Structure 1
Amino acid sequence: MIKLTKLNGVEFLLNDSHIQIIESIPESKIVLDNKDYYLVKESFDEIINKIAEFNAKTADKESYLKARRGLTEVADENQESAIK
Structure 2
Amino acid sequence: MIQLTRLNGDLFTLNAMMIEQIQSLPDTTITLMNGKKMVVKNPECDVIKLITAYYQKIGLQVSLKEAGEANE
TM-score range, shorter chain: 0.7 to 0.9
TM-score relative to the length of structure 1: 0.67
Higher relative contact order (CA 8 A, sep 6+): 2
Unaligned runs of 5+ in 1: 61-84
Which structure has more helix as a fraction of its residues?
A: 1
Using the size of structure 2 for normalisation, the TM-score is: 0.78
RMSD: 1.3
Q: Aligned residues, how many?
A: 60
Q: Which runs of 4+ in 1 moved over 4 A?
A: none
Task: Please state which structure has a larger fraction of its residues in strand.
Answer: 2
Question: SS state of the match for residue 26, structure 2?
Answer: coil
In the alignment, what sits opposite 2:11? 11
Larger Rg: 1
